[in-house]
Amino acid sequence: NKQKRLYVLDSIGKLLLRLSIGGMILLRGLYKIVHGVDGVKHLLHIHHIPEILAYGVYITEVIAPLFVIIGWKSRFWALWIVFDMVMAIFLTKQSAIYHLTSNGAWGIETQALFLFGALSIACIGAGRYAISNH
């Protein structure tokens, strides 16, 4: 049945999106587990934001991507990743928004990919291959 095949492909696409966005954000979080959040604290300090908030990256870059990957309340956790990327752009890449790199890439290409990928997950949900379909 063509409709059933499309449903399966739709669910596989959602799974691949969750695995790729969640997996790549998780790697950033694992780096911070190993190396700490001093760099984030410094960025927050520069912007006059309380440094204690640096520990929030463990939620946005470890817990949220894990739940996105397994598909538990993916829409909710994807919004945490969206917030993380908005903050990353604000703290580190504001000037890059309006520029291209030397090879023609958008200055915030990676962050934008994560942001819009997570926003897509928040909009479309986890799909069939998930702990919950929300």
pLDDT at 134: 59
Instruction: Output the tens digit of pLDDT for each of the chain's 134 residues.
Output: 888 888 899 999 999 999 999 999 999 999 999 999 999 999 999 999 999 999 999 999 999 999 999 999 999 999 999 999 999 999 999 889 999 999 999 999 999 999 999 999 999 999 999 998 65
pLDDT at 127: 92
Q: Please give the Cα distance from 118 to 102 (Å, whole number).
A: 27
Q: Please give the Cα distance from 122 to 75 (Å, whole number).
A: 4
> Which H, E and C letters describe the chain, residue by residue?
CHHHHHHHHHHHHHHHHHHHHHHHHHHHHHHHHHHCCHHHHHHHHHCCCCHHHHHHHHHHHHHHHHHHHHCCCHHHHHHHHHHHHHHHHHHHCHHHHHCECCCCCECCHHHHHHHHHHHHHHHHCCCCCCCCCC
pLDDT at 133: 65
Cβ atoms of 57 and 84 within 8 Å: the answer is yes
C-alpha dihedral, 70 to 73 to 74 to 78, nearest 10°: -130
CB atoms within 10 A of CB 33: 12
pLDDT at 7: 87
pLDDT at 107: 93
